[in-house]
C-alpha cells in the first residue's frame, strides 16, 4: 500500500483555517463598533457566538460536502459547493441575528456577509488550484493500476493520464493472464494505492474474490468502472405493489416539479435580460457583418432533438456558406465552408446567441446537454447506451461538457462522445441552480478568452 503522510492532516488544517477566517471577520467588524471583543459585559455572549458560528460551519459542511475534495473534482463543481455552503451559512447568520438579541451578530451584516464570501471564495479557490499545481508537478500523487481492461477502462485511463493535475501515476501490469501472487508482488513493489477493474471483465468469480481479499489484506483500494456503453445510469428505489417488492428508477432533481419551476423561471428571466440588454444592440451588428461577409440569410435553422426527443428548430447565426451540405454534413476542423465572420462567431460562441429565443419558446434551457444534429443523435444512440439520458432534460445553450473542454471534433470521436455523455449524465443526476450559475460563469469566461476547441 502507498504510504500517505499528510492527507490525514490536510482536511483538519483546512477546517481550522476556515473557522479562523470566519472568527477573524466577525471580530474585525465588532471592533469597528467596540474597543474590545472581550468586554466584561459581553465576554460570555461573544465567545458563545463564535463557538456557535464555528459549530454551525462544521455541521453544515457535512451536508454540503465542502471538505470532500476528490482528485477528479472539477472547479465547476467545487465552486458550486463553496457558493452553496457560504450562502446557507450566511443566510443562517442573518436569520439568527434577526431572532436573537445578540448584538455581536447585528453589526454591518451586509459587509460581514460580503467580506466573508469574497475572502473564503478566494482562499478556497487558491487552495484548490495550489493542490492542482502540486499534483501536476508530480507531488501529492496516487499510484494506480488497471487490470482486465476494456473500452470503459481505456476511457478512464486516458483521462487520468492526460489530466496530470489529478495526481495519478498509472502503472501497467505486464502480464495479460493474472496470477494472484504476481499481482500482489507487483502492487507491493509499486506501492499501488488503487486498482481499477471494469464491471464487465473476463475474470472468473473465484479470481475476483481472491483479488478483493488480498487487496483488503494489503490495504489497497479496489474501484469498479461501470460500462460506458451499457445503460447503468439509473439508481433504483425499493417500492411495493401490495406485498410484491419492485425496484423503480430514482427520480432526478428536475423530475421534481419545484425544481423544474425554479429552472424554468431562471431560464425566462436570464433570457429576457440577455435579449433586452445585449441582443437589442449586438444582433444588428452581427447581422450586418454576416451580410457583408457572404450572401445568404442571417440566421441558420436546423432540426434538433429536444426534451424527450421532441424535434424543434434550433436557431443560430449563420457561420457557413449556404449550400445543400450545410444542414446534413457535420463541421470539421478548418472547414472551408466556414466564413471569416463565422469563424469569429464560433470561437466566441456568439453564433449560439439566437438560441435564447429558443429558451423563451420553451424548446431549450440556458444550461443543459448541447443538442446535436438528428443524424448524429441517431448514429450514437445505437452505439452508446447512455446517450438517450440527455433527453431527460431540455437541451442547453451551454453545458457541463462544454465548459469541461469536451467540445469540437478532437481525437477519436466515439471516445470523445462517450466522455461528453458521461458529463451530460452527471449533470442530469446532479442538477442544481448553483451548478447552472457556475456553468454560465465559466461559459462567459470562455467567450471572453475564446474557445480554442470551437470549430
Number of H helices, E strands in the chain: 15, 10
Euclidean distance between CA atoms 225 and 338, whole angstroms: 40
Buried b (16+ CB within 10 A) or exposed e, 200-214: bbeeeeebeebbeee
Burial, 291: exposed, middle or buried (Cβ in 10 Å; 0-12, 13-18, 19+)? middle
Euclidean distance between CA atoms 129 and 135, whole angstroms: 10
Nearest partner of 431 among 385, 383, 399, judged by Cα: 399
Point out the residues of the chain with pLDDT beneath 50.
Answer: 410
User: What confidence tens digit (pLDDT) does each residue in 81-103 have?
Assistant: 888 888 888 888 777 777 766 66
- What pLDDT was estimated at residue 234? 59
Q: Which residues, at least 6 apart from 63, have a Cβ–Cβ distance to it below 8 Å?
A: none
- What pLDDT was estimated at residue 358? 97
- What pLDDT was estimated at residue 42? 63
User: Which residue intervals of 190-279 are DSSP H helices?
Assistant: 205-217, 257-274
User: What confidence tens digit (pLDDT) does each residue in 21-57 have?
Assistant: 988 888 887 777 766 655 555 666 667 777 888 888 8
CA dihedral 414, 250, 439, 362 (to 10 degrees): 90
- What pLDDT was estimated at residue 412? 66
H or E, element range at 45? helix 43-64
H or E, element range at 30? helix 7-31
- What pLDDT was estimated at residue 383? 78
Direct distance between the N- and C-terminal alpha carbons of the chain, in angstroms, rounded to an integer:
45
Q: Is residue 1 within 8 Å of 191, Cβ to Cβ?
A: yes
H or E, element range at 197? strand 194-198
Euclidean distance between CA atoms 81 and 352, whole angstroms: 28
Enumerate domains of the chain plus CATH numbers: 7-136 (no CATH), 142-225 (3.40.50.2300), 255-449 (no CATH)
Distance of CA 262 to the CA centre of its chain: 19
- What pLDDT was estimated at residue 322? 76
Amino acid at each position: 500500500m502507498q504510504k500517505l503522510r499528510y492527507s490525514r492532516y490536510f482536511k483538519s488544517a483546512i477546517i481550522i483555517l476556515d473557522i479562523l477566517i470566519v472568527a477573524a471577520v466577525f471580530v474585525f467588524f465588532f471592533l469597528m463598533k467596540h474597543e474590545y471583543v472581550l468586554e466584561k459585559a459581553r465576554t460570555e455572549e461573544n465567545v458563545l457566538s463564535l463557538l456557535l458560528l464555528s459549530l454551525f460551519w462544521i455541521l453544515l459542511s457535512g451536508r454540503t460536502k465542502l471538505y470532500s475534495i476528490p482528485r477528479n473534482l472539477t472547479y465547476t463543481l467545487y465552486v458550486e459547493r463553496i457558493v452553496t455552503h457560504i450562502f446557507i451559512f450566511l443566510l443562517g447568520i442573518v436569520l439568527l441575528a434577526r431572532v436573537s438579541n445578540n448584538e455581536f451578530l447585528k453589526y454591518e451584516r451586509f459587509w460581514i456577509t460580503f467580506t466573508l464570501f469574497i475572502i473564503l471564495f478566494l482562499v478556497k479557490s487558491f487552495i484548490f488550484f495550489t493542490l492542482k499545481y502540486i499534483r501536476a508537478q508530480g507531488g501529492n500523487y496516487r499510484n494506480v493500476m488497471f487490470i482486465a481492461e476494456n473500452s470503459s477502462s481505456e476511457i478512464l485511463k486516458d483521462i487520468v493520464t492526460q489530466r496530470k493535475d489529478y495526481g495519478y501515476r498509472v502503472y501497467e501490469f505486464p502480464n495479460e493472464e493474472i496470477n494472484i501472487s504476481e499481482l500482489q508482488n507487483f502492487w507491493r513493489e509499486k506501492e499501488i494505492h488503487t486498482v481499477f477493474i471494469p464491471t464487465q471483465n473476463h475474470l472468473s468469480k473465484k479470481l475476483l474474490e481472491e483479488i478483493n481479499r488480498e487487496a483488503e489484506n494489503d490495504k489497497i483500494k479496489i474501484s469498479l468502472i461501470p460500462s460506458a456503453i451499457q445503460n447503468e445510469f439509473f439508481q433504483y428505489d425499493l417500492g411495493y405493489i401490495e406485498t410484491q417488492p419492485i425496484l423503480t428508477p430514482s427520480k432526478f432533481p428536475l423530475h421534481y416539479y419545484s425544481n423544474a419551476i425554479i429552472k424554468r423561471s431562471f431560464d425566462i428571466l436570464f433570457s429576457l435580460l440577455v435579449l433586452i440588454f445585449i441582443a437589442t444592440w449586438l444582433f444588428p451588428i452581427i447581422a450586418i457583418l454576416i451580410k457583408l461577409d457572404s450572401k445568404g440569410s442571417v440566421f441558420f435553422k436546423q432540426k434538433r432533438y429536444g426534451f424527450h426527443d421532441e424535434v424543434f428548430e434550433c436557431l443560430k447565426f449563420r457561420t457557413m456558406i449556404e449550400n445543400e451540405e450545410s444542414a446534413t454534413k457535420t463541421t470539421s476542423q478548418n472547414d472551408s465552408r466556414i466564413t471569416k465572420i463565422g469563424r469569429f462567431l464560433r470561437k466566441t460562441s456568439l453564433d449560439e446567441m439566437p438560441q435564447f429565443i429558443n429558451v423563451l419558446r420553451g424548446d431549450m434551457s440556458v444550461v443543459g446537454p448541447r443538442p446535436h444534429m438528428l443524424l448524429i443523435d441517431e448514429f450514437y444512440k445505437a452505439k452508446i447506451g447512455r446517450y438517450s439520458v440527455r433527453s431527460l432534460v431540455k437541451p442547453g445553450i451551454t453545458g457541463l461538457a462544454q465548459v469541461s473542454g469536451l467540445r469540437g471534433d478532437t481525437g477519436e470521436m466515439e471516445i470523445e462522445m462517450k466522455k461528453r455523455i458521461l458529463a451530460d449524465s452527471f449533470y442530469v443526476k446532479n442538477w442544481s441552480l448553483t451548478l447552472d450559475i457556475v456553468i454560465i460563469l465559466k461559459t462567459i469566461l470562455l467567450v471572453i478568452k475564446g474557445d480554442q476547441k470551437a470549430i
